[in-house]
Amino acid sequence: MSDTPDSAVRAYIQQHRAAFLDDLAEWLRIPSVSADPGHADDVRRSADWLADRLRATGFPVAEVWETAGAPAVFAEWPSGDEGAPTVLVYGHHDVQPAAREDGWHTEPFEPVVKDGRMYARGAADDKGQVFFHTLGVRAHLAATGRTAPAVNLKLIIEGEEEFGSPNFPDLLRAHADRLACDAVIVSDTGMWAEDTPTVCTGLRGLVECQVDLYGPDQDIHSGAFGGAVPNPATEAARLAAALHDGDRRVAIPGFYDGIVELTDRERELFAELPFDEKRWTRGAHSHATLGEAGYSTLERVWARPTAEVNGISGGYQGPGGKTIVPSSAQLKLSFRLVAGQDTDRVQEAVREWIAGRLPAGIRHELTFTGATRPCLTPLDHPALQAVARAMGRAFGQQVRFTREGGSGPAADLQDVLGVPVLFLGISVPSDGWHAPNEKVELDLLMKGVETAAHLWDDLATGDTSWTRRAH
C-alpha cells in the first residue's frame, strides 16, 4: 500500500479542478467524429490538441502517430526508477456522431456544465476518461513529491475506436517495441452505478460468420416439388435451431473446450451486486430473460459464451404468401467467447458442425467475418488488486468486480503486446454513450483522477512479481 497521503491528492485535485474542466471542455469542442469523412480534419485537430496537452502535462514524449486512417496519440513518461513497472493507458480521442436535432437539449459540441455534470459528445466516451489521466499523474507527482511517475507511464489514444478500430492491430504491431509494457490500463469502460464503484475484469471474445445455403438452382413450386426435395430455408432454420440444446446451452461439439469456468468466488461477487432483473430487462428493451440453464443473467452476459442469430433470410419476404421452395437461405451468426476459448478452435468447431448437419442436395458456403479474442484478468492478479485498491481509496468504499459482455480492442492490446489488460473507468450507465445528451458526472470524473493518482504509486510499490522485469 502506498503511503501517499490521500488528502494531499484530494487537495491538489480540488485546486486544479476548474482549469482541468476548462481544458476538457476545449477538447470536447473539437468534433472528432471518426465515422464521418467530413470530420477528418477535426479528428486530426483532436490528436494534435491532445499531444500538445500531454506535453504541457509533463510527458517528455508526445507524438501523433499516423495510421492508414485517423491518427493516434502516443505519449511516454519514464519513471527513472530502475525496475519500475511499465504501464500503457489505452483510450480513444474520436467520438460518435451527434447532432442537436437527434434530441440533444444543448449543442453536442458546446460543453455545458449543469447540476454537477458536463454535457457534450465524448464527455464520458471517451475524452473525459482519457483526460483524467493528465490531472491524475500531476496529482500523483504533487502528493509524492516526485518529478516523474513511479511507473513508466505510456499512453496510446487511438482515433478510430468508434469506427471499429480497423487500423489499430496494425498500429500496435508496427510500434510493438515502443508500446512494450507490463500491463495495459483501459480507460474506456464504466462502473456498475454511481454509488457502486466496480472494476471490470474482462471482455468476451467474438467470432462472426455468415452461412449461405443453396438448394434448388431456382425457386421451385412447393406444390409440384414440396415435401420431396431439401429446402435451404428449412435447413438454415434447423442449423440455427440446433445451435442450442433444450437448456439453451450451445450444442456445437467442442465449443466449450478449455473455457475458464466461473469460480465460486466470482459467482458470489456477481451475486452481491445490486442487480434489479426487471430494470435490466427494461434496459435491454426486452420483455423477459432467457439463457443458459444454471446461470444468472449477469453470468450469462459476462461470463458465458453464446451463439446468437444476428440475421436469417431466405425465400419470399414480400406481402402475402408465395408457394415456393426457395433456392437459397442465409444465416449471420455470432459467438461470444470467454477466457480459455480460442477463436481458431471455435471457428473449426463451427465449420465441422455445419458440414456434418446438412443433407445431400444442400450446398453451403461458410465465411468468417470477424474474430476477437476474449480477455480476462484473474481476480487475484496483483495489478488488478492494485486498481481495486486505488479505486477503493478514491471512493472510500469497497470496490466490486464486473465484466463486460461486449468485445473490443482491449483484446488486440492483450494479444499483440502479450500482457494483462486492466480496466479503469468511472462512467455510469446513465452517461448516454452513443446517445443524445451524453454527459459525465464531475464528481466521478474527479474520482477517476484520484484513482489514477493512487494507482501509479501502488503499482510501483506493491507486489511487482507480475511484471516482466521481475521474471
Segment lying near its own copies (by CB under 8 A), choices 22-30, 239-247, 267-275, 436-444:
239-247
Cell representation of residue 270: 456477481
Among 60, 103, 166, 226, binds its own copies (CB under 8 A): 226
Q: Does 224 bind its own copies (CB under 8 A)?
A: yes
CB atoms within 10 A of CB 241: 10
Residue 361: CB minimum distance to its own copies, A: 3
Among 18, 68, 290, 293, binds its own copies (CB under 8 A): 290
Which x/- pattern, by CB under 8 A, does the window 91-130 give for its own copies? ----------------------------------------
In terms of CB distance, is 11 or 237 closer to its own copies?
Answer: 237
Cell representation of residue 393: 481509496
- Using CA atoms of 278, 279, 285, 291 in order, give the dihedral in degrees to the nearest 10: -50
**Contact in structure between 209 and 365 (CB atoms under 8 Å):** no
In terms of CB distance, is 289 or 461 closer to its own copies?
Answer: 289
**Contact in structure between 348 and 257 (CB atoms under 8 Å):** no
**Contact in structure between 125 and 96 (CB atoms under 8 Å):** yes
Residue 221: CB minimum distance to its own copies, A: 7
Q: Does 236 bind its own copies (CB under 8 A)?
A: yes
- Under rule CB under 8 A, which residues in 327-386 are in contact with its own copies? 327, 329-330, 332, 334, 336, 359-363, 369-370
- Under rule CB under 8 A, which residues in 256-285 are in contact with its own copies? 281, 284-285
Q: Given CA atoms 267, 270, 276, 277 in this order, what sign does their dihedral have?
A: negative
Cell representation of residue 77: 513518461
**Contact in structure between 179 and 170 (CB atoms under 8 Å):** no
In terms of CB distance, is 101 or 217 closer to its own copies?
Answer: 217
Distance between CA atoms of residues 146 and 83, nearest Å: 16
Residue 231: CB minimum distance to its own copies, A: 6
Non-local CB neighbours of 248 within 8 Å, separated by 6+ positions: 290, 291, 292, 293
Q: Does 438 bind its own copies (CB under 8 A)?
A: no
Q: Does 176 bind its own copies (CB under 8 A)?
A: no
Segment lying near its own copies (by CB under 8 A), choices 23-31, 90-98, 292-300, 443-451:
292-300
Among 5, 60, 311, 418, binds its own copies (CB under 8 A): 311
DSSP symbol at 359: P
Task: List the one residue out of 118, 128, 116, 125 whose CA is nearest residue 98.
Answer: 125
